């Protein structure tokens, strides 16, 4: 369960997020959309413990993550969260398999045989089995994104945060990756995804980020004032 | 930790040229400092030995023959200079003087033997405390009138190999002598000097074409002084010069420093260069690490997103810097060592053929100090970039990284 309460964030004098309230149930598939520069990445980063909000709280399973010490927050990112980014994010100096195993290493534990088996099965699941020993440069953009998804899953996180994971991919690959996320969600992993691919909006609960506020997608044409004035904006999937 | 090492290794492979450039900078600094440290220590022990072999704390010469005396004392040029032997009594009673003896310097006839530059020095085998201890170490008897003590470098020219020299008969200025013993090298004029009994020296000037007027026994060339315990030779020498203006008092420090000056200058240059190279290496490492960290900013931010703690990022950078510094330090010591090894003949020649190498403990100390200097350079170079990147929020690092 992710609970976001009265979250605000400014960059210098620019208001990016203001008074955002949001709740995401375990196992949900949540999509956030909105115009470029609207603050979607910022929102995802605050929820994922990557950047500190100016005000408000983020509770993950009732833990206020921004009250945690730096090592504890790092451990939370390591164990509970998986990130998939909108740009190629594999480490070029490491093989695909080593890339997938990287979060294990940051958990202060050498990967064991079980981890290795799991990594291999994940690569199979994302559809790039047999690429274990290759280096990122040898993979296509779609294959790299698949490997990044496998890496996000290696610690069996409860939540995967995906920021425009198909933004730079062709339509066919996009469809395949979306299917992949759906099947991951089908196994119980919560997915919070920023995307412009609104064809997929039907997959789950969809929100739009507009004028620093978050609205349910179908309400997005409404005036933001009307909604926020009414009190808390809370959508439980 | 093994994982971190692996990440560091993989990253070093990414930019080998850059890594080698940093290693090169550190090698240059470390090799220079290592050579300077070894030579500097060597000079110290060489001077120490030279002073011991010189045997006197102060050598007093006539002030008006100062230049000649210096060249005789330092390089063994055959010259003559004299002062009244009565001055020895005055010197002996000067404050701080414990013991004195005198020597007489004569020119030899080049034609007498095959050596061009040999100083001939008469000493008193009973009262002398400068070369006598060395002679008595090797022969049990004091020098006889028909015996010679030969400087370390005279010997090969005069009589061949040292082994053959002892006991060898040879004619010297028309008189037969036998070689009693050979002195150890001192780097000073004694290396080119033939010592003989003082009485014999005076006697030899009678009828010599070089000395139309024979040198009399009341003429001496140098007064050698041992200072009393706890007295500084410099003070005693200054005092003598003040009270007896016709004398010039040279301390053993002054004398030995003169022959080590060339090498000492080199060492000074090396230390300055080593310091500059260290600074350069520091700037190089600092800048290249800052560059590397800027280029890896997104990657390091991603590491954080994957759960790497701030301290892990810090360790990654510092460990990489330490690897480069360690490799540079090790290579630097190795190269410095080879320079010393292959240059040892030249070095020895620069310091009167008697350069004393520091002992193994000092070599080890120099290696450790050089390595420490390298590692400190690495840590300092990596510190700022490491602090900067690890203090960034992961999101900032990911966003700012290209
Ligand atoms: N670190 C930052 N410093 C200054 N401005 C930023 C920073 N991060 C984001 N912004 C600005 O905040 C706004 C929201 O950015 P972002 O969250 O990336 O939007 P989105 O992901 O919806 O495109 C943009 O105008 C962006 O330029
Ligand atoms: Mg974005």
Q: What is the pLDDT of residues B215-239, one digit of tens each?
A: 888 999 999 999 999 999 999 999 9
Last residue of one domain, picked from the residues B172, B201, B220: B220
Test mutation, B18, B302, B306, B394, chain A, max A CBs within 10 A: B306
| B211 lies in the same domain as B263 | no
The range of the structural domain enclosing residue B106 comes to 82-220
Among A75-79, B75-79, B264-268, top mean pLDDT goes to A75-79
Structural element, H or E, at residue B321: helix B310-342
Does B278 reside within a domain? yes
Does B69 reside within a domain? no
* Interchain contact, B308 vs A74, CB within 8 Å: yes
From A11, A51, A86, the mutation candidate for ligand 1 (largest count of ligand atoms within 8 A of CB) is: A11
> Can you tell me the ipTM of this complex?
0.91
Cα A33 to averaged position of ligand 2 atoms, centre (Å)? 10
Q: Which residue has the higher pLDDT, A77 or A111?
A: A77
Does B374 reside within a domain? yes
Test mutation, A41, A58, A97, A106, chain B, max B CBs within 10 A: A106
Q: CA angle at residue A62 from A58 to A68, to 5 degrees? A: 60
Give Dmax (Cα) for chain B. Answer: 102
* Interchain contact, B307 vs A70, CB within 8 Å: no
| B112 lies in the same domain as B161 | yes
Q: CA angle at residue B289 from B283 to B294, to 5 degrees? A: 125
Tell me what the mean pLDDT of segment B14-18 comes to.
Answer: 92
Does A17 reside within a domain? yes
| B174 lies in the same domain as B275 | no
> What span, in angstroms and rounded, lies between the C-alpha atoms of A202 and A198?
8
* Interchain contact, A102 vs B303, CB within 8 Å: yes
Does B148 reside within a domain? yes
Question: What pLDDT, on the 0 to 100 scale, is given for residue B261?
Answer: 82
Test mutation, B299, B305, B313, B395, chain A, max A CBs within 10 A: B305
Question: What pLDDT, on the 0 to 100 scale, is given for residue B162?
Answer: 61
The range of the structural domain enclosing residue A156 comes to 2-221
Give the ligand at the shortest distance from the Cα of A34: 1
pLDDT of A231 > 80? The answer is no
Does B280 reside within a domain? yes
B223, B224, B230, B231 alpha-carbon torsion, rounded to 10°: 30
Residues from B contacting A (CB-CB < 8 Å) are 2-4, 6-7, 10-11, 13-14, 298-299, 301-312, 393-396, 398
Which residue matches tokens 């009393």?
B228
DSSP letter for A124, please. Answer: H
For residue A198, give how far its alpha carbon lies from the nearest alpha carbon of chain B (Å): 25
pLDDT of B112 > 70? The answer is no
Show residues of chain A in contact with B310, CB under 8 Å: 70-71, 74
| B144 lies in the same domain as B193 | yes
DSSP letter for A87, please. Answer: S
pLDDT in tens, B301-339: 999 999 999 999 999 999 999 999 999 999 999 999 999
Tell me what the mean pLDDT of segment A160-167 comes to.
Answer: 93
Q: CA angle at residue A32 from A31 to A38, to 5 degrees? A: 170
pLDDT of B258 > 80? The answer is no
Instruction: Please provide the average confidence, as pLDDT, over all residues in chain B.
Output: 88
* Interchain contact, A75 vs B302, CB within 8 Å: no
For the ranges A116-120, B15-19, B144-148, B317-321, the lowest mean pLDDT is seen at: B144-148
pLDDT band with cut points at 50, 70 and 90 for residue B155: low
* Interchain contact, B305 vs A48, CB within 8 Å: yes
- Count of the separate structural domains present in chain A: 1
Does B104 reside within a domain? yes
Question: What pLDDT, on the 0 to 100 scale, is given for residue A156?
Answer: 95
Instruction: Please provide the average confidence, as pLDDT, over all residues in chain A.
Output: 89
Of B10, B307, B312, the CB nearest to A103: B307
pLDDT of A232 > 80? The answer is no
pLDDT band with cut points at 50, 70 and 90 for residue A234: very low
Q: Which residue has the higher pLDDT, B329 or B189?
A: B329
Does A234 reside within a domain? no
Pick from A215, A4, A184, A14: nearest CA to A84? A184
For residue A117, give how far its alpha carbon lies from the nearest alpha carbon of chain B (Å): 18
| B96 lies in the same domain as B14 | no
Does B245 reside within a domain? no
For residue B7, give how far its alpha carbon lies from the nearest alpha carbon of chain A (Å): 8
Q: Which residue has the higher pLDDT, B187 or B243?
A: B243
Does B15 reside within a domain? yes
pLDDT band with cut points at 50, 70 and 90 for residue A221: very low
> What span, in angstroms and rounded, lies between the C-alpha atoms of A232 and A7?
12
- Count of the separate structural domains present in chain B: 2
| B161 lies in the same domain as B285 | no
Q: Read off the CATH number of the domain in which A67 is found.
A: 3.40.50.300
Q: CA angle at residue B198 from B193 to B203, to 5 degrees? A: 105
Tell which phi-psi region holds residue A127, choosing left (phi > 0), alpha (psi between -120 and 50) or beta: left
Atom of ligand 1 nearest to the CA of A34: 22
> What span, in angstroms and rounded, lies between the C-alpha atoms of B360 and B362?
5
| B7 lies in the same domain as B99 | no
| B264 lies in the same domain as B397 | yes
Structural element, H or E, at residue B88: helix B86-92
Share of chain A above pLDDT 70, in %: 92
Is residue B314 within 8 A of residue B387, CB to CB? The reply is yes
| B96 lies in the same domain as B208 | yes
> What span, in angstroms and rounded, lies between the C-alpha atoms of B16 and B384?
22
List residues near ligand 1 (CB under 6 A).
A 11, 16, 34, 36-42; B 396, 399
pLDDT in tens, A136-147: 999 999 999 999
| B287 lies in the same domain as B339 | yes
Tell me what the mean pLDDT of segment A97-105 comes to.
Answer: 95
> What span, in angstroms and rounded, lies between the C-alpha atoms of A134 and A132?
6
Question: What pLDDT, on the 0 to 100 scale, is given for residue B119?
Answer: 80
Is the sign of the CA dihedral B86, B89, B90, B91 positive or negative? positive
Which residue matches tokens 């006839």?
B109
pLDDT of A224 > 60? The answer is no
Q: Which residue has the higher pLDDT, B157 or A82?
A: A82
Is residue B52 within 8 A of residue B134, CB to CB? The reply is no
Does A235 reside within a domain? no
> What φ, ψ does residue A30 adopt, rounded to 5°?
-115, 135
pLDDT of A228 > 80? The answer is no
Tell me what the mean pLDDT of segment A88-98 comes to.
Answer: 95
Is residue B143 within 8 A of residue B242, CB to CB? The reply is no
Last residue of one domain, picked from the residues B220, B245, B280: B220
| B177 lies in the same domain as B291 | no
For residue A16, give how far its alpha carbon lies from the nearest alpha carbon of chain B (Å): 15
């Amino acid at each position: 369960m992710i609970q976001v309460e009265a979250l605000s964030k400014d960059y210098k004098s620019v208001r990016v997020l203001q008074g955002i309230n949001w709740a995401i149930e375990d196992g949900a598939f949540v999509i956030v959309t909105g115009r470029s520069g609207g603050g979607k990445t910022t929102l995802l980063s605050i929820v994922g413990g990557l950047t500190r909000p100016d005000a408000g709280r983020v509770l993950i399973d009732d833990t206020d993550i921004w009250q945690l010490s730096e090592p504890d927050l790092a451990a939370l990112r390591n164990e509970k969260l998986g990130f998939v980014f909108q740009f190629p994010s594999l480490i070029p100096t490491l093989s695909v398999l080593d890339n997938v195993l990287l979060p294990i290493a940051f958990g202060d534990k050498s990967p064991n045989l079980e981890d290795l088996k799991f990594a291999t099965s994940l690569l199979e699941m994302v559809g790039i089995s047999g690429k274990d020993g290759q280096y990122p440069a040898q993979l296509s953009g779609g294959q790299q994104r698949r490997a990044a998804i496998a890496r996000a899953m290696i610690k069996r996180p409860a939540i995967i945060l995906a920021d425009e994971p198909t933004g730079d991919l062709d339509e066919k690959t996009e469809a395949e990756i979306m299917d992949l996320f759906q099947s991951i969600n089908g196994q119980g992993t919560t997915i919070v995804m920023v995307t412009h691919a609104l064809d997929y909006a039907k997959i789950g609960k969809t929100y739009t980020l507009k004028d620093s506020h978050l609205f349910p997608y179908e309400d997005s044409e409404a005036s933001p004032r009307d909604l926020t004035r009414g009190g808390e904006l809370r959508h439980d999937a | 930790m093994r994982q971190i090492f692996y990440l560091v290794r993989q990253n070093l492979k990414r930019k080998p040229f850059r890594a080698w450039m940093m290693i090169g900078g550190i090698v240059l600094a470390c090799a220079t400092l290592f050579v300077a440290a070894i030579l500097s220590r060597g000079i110290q022990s060489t001077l120490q030995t030279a002073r011991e072999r010189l045997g006197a704390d102060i050598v007093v010469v006539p002030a008006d023959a100062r230049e000649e005396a210096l060249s005789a004392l330092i390089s063994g040029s055959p010259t003559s200079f004299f002062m009244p032997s009565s001055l020895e009594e005055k010197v002996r009673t000067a404050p701080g003087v414990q013991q004195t003896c005198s020597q007489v310097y004569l020119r030899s006839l080049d034609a007498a033997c095959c050596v061009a530059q040999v100083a001939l020095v008469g000493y008193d085998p009973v009262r002398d405390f400068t070369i006598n201890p060395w002679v008595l170490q090797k022969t049990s008897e004091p020098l006889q009138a028909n015996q010679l003590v030969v400087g370390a470098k005279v010997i090969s020219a005069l009589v061949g190999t040292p082994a053959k020299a002892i006991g060898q008969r040879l004619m010297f200025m028309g008189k037969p002598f036998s070689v009693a013993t050979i002195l150890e090298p001192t780097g000073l004029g004694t290396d080119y000097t033939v010592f003989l009994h003082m009485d014999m020296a005076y006697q030899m000037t009678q009828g010599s074409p070089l000395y139309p007027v024979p040198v009399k026994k009341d003429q001496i060339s140098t007064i050698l002084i041992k200072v009393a315990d706890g007295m500084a030779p410099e003070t005693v020498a200054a005092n003598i010069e003040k009270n007896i203006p016709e004398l010039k008092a040279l301390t053993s420090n002054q004398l030995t420093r003169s022959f080590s000056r060339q090498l000492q200058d080199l060492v000074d240059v090396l230390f300055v260069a080593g310091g500059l190279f260290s600074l350069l290496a520091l700037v190089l490492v600092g800048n290249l690490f800052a560059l590397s960290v800027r280029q890896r900013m997104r990657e390091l931010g991603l590491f954080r997103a994957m759960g790497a703690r701030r301290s892990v990022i810090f360790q990654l950078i510092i460990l990489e810097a330490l690897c480069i510094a360690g490799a540079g330090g090790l290579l630097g010591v190795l190269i410095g060592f080879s320079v010393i090894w292959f240059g040892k003949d030249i070095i020895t020649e620069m310091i009167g053929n008697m350069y004393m190498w520091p002992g193994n403990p000092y070599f080890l100390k120099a290696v450790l100090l050089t390595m420490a200097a390298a590692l400190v350079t690495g840590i300092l170079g990596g510190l700022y970039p490491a602090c900067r990147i690890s203090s960034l929020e992961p999101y900032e690092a990911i966003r700012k990284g290209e």
